Amino acid sequence: MRMSGKFPSGVAVVGVGDVDYGKLYQIRNLPGPRDPYEMAAEAFKNALEDSGLKKDDIDGVLCVRDIKKYEYFCYKVGIDKPRLINGLESSGRQSGIALQYAAMAIATGMANTVAVVYSNYGRTASFNYGGDGDGGDPFGILHGMTSPGAQVAAMFHRYCHEYGASEESLAKLAVSNRYHASLNAHSVMKKLFTVEEYMQARYITEPLRLYDYCLINDGAVCMILTSVERAKDLRKPVVEMIATSACGDMASSYMKEDFFYKGLQTVSNELYAVAGVKAEDMDNIQIYDNFTTTILFSLEGIGLCERGGAGDYIDKVGITLGRSPRPINTANHTSETYMQGFNHQVECVRQLRGECGVRQVPNSKLSMYICAAPIISGHIFAAI
């Protein structure tokens, strides 16, 4: 693997663990919010078992989102002297960055084996991700942009104006996401719907409808990384992070006039150059989808089609398992679970190991993760 500093590292993901999101979602009438540390500890235990490692092998821990007290988490799971320990802020863009930090630590010798742990109790804590104004920025709030959804809706209005796109493209993305989620036993939403049913759903922020928005649910994810050399002696097939890149996209607002295009180009072009591949070589691509529009923008930004051509790509090339040469979002946020990019990265690993059952992309050797946000990040994973 190479990173922005252009140094070789050879880092692999050797353990992944999560929880049954659908089961958690179905349990109602709790006395209060779920304990994010309990969920995180379960995901950590599952990742350890998946890897074949013991907790004493973990000498680095990075905590994300609702694990605010990393010291308490380490105490809870029995890690008392980690060489690397820290926490990241709660935005979804941190998921890709967290894996990069872990990889850099391993590559530089700051740690040998790092657990990246994420927990989210958004549903039982009644988070609304900006509906009360806390998701806006100082400039957007002045104009009624109180949430990321409002700002993304404005971007899609502009996109439609510039390229003649329609809501039907979003409908096809939402339908495909739901189909993929229906193939995962742990998904929150599995009931299929049609393009026509999508179009009948209510607007949340026009032109974005109910099915264009990510879920709000509880859950946790853990990913364990170590060197490729050590990974060869562990339980599962080796999945190497052969390239990773990041790029800030700074502005006064979440809204970007170019729909994150230049930043996505910067990150994806570096990924392809370092890995020695091109977009069409990917066997599956997992795109951060806080909204379906982000998939549309990302398809163009990573070079799968020309600007304004995402709708044609969806129709002519396809995005759905069984109908596309490189399925998009066999894991997703709008129907499976909203783990802010972590479920996408876990999916990359499981697809390359051949562990996805009925949603398995045949003969997967290369998988890409990309996140379009004010910090754009991406990786290419390879089955070794």
Q: Which residues contact 58 (CB under 8 A, 6 or more apart)?
A: 48, 79, 82, 113, 114, 115, 224
- Is the pTM higher than 0.75? The answer reads yes
Residue 244 has pLDDT above 90, yes or no: yes
State the average pLDDT over residues 115-136.
83
Is residue 265 packed enough to be buried (19+ CB in 10 Å), middle (13-18) or exposed (0-12)?
A: middle
Gyration radius of the chain over CA positions: 19
Task: Give the type of residue at 23.
Answer: K
Query: What confidence score (pLDDT) does residue 7 get?
Result: 42
Q: Is-contact 42 219, C-beta < 8 A?
A: no
**Quick check: 247 and 267 in contact, CB under 8 A?**
yes
Tens of pLDDT along 74-83?
999 999 999 9
The domains located in the chain, with CATH, are: 7-127+216-236 (3.40.47.10), 147-191+240-384 (3.40.47.10)
Cα–Cα distance measured from residue 267 to residue 293, given in angstroms and rounded to the nearest whole number = 19
Nearest to 241 by CA among 46, 363, 377, 117: 377
**CA 5 and chain centroid, separation:** 24
Contact 143, 83 (CB under 8 A): no
- Residue 128 pLDDT > 90: no
Give the pLDDT score at 153.
95
pLDDT-based confidence at residue 172 (cuts at 50, 70, 90): very high
User: Residue 298: pLDDT band by 50, 70, 90 thresholds?
Assistant: very high
175/347 Cα distance (integer angstroms) = 19
pLDDT tier, 145 (very low <50, low <70, confident <90, very high otherwise)? confident
Model confidence over 373-382: pLDDT tens digits?
999 999 999 9
List, as one string, the DSSP characters of 152-176. HHHHHHHHHHHH---HHHHHHHHHH
pLDDT at 6: 43
pLDDT band at 134 (very low <50, low <70, confident <90, very high): low
Q: The sheet that has 84-88: what strands, in order across it?
A: 84-88, 60-65, 114-121, 218-227, 11-18, 239-248, 375-383, 366-371, 284-287
Query: For residue 383, which of 359, 356, 351 has the smallest C-alpha distance?
Result: 351
**2 pLDDT exceeds 50?**
no
For residues 367 and 87, is the Cβ–Cβ distance under 8 A? no
Average of per-residue pLDDT values in the chain: 94
More confident residue, 144 or 153: 153
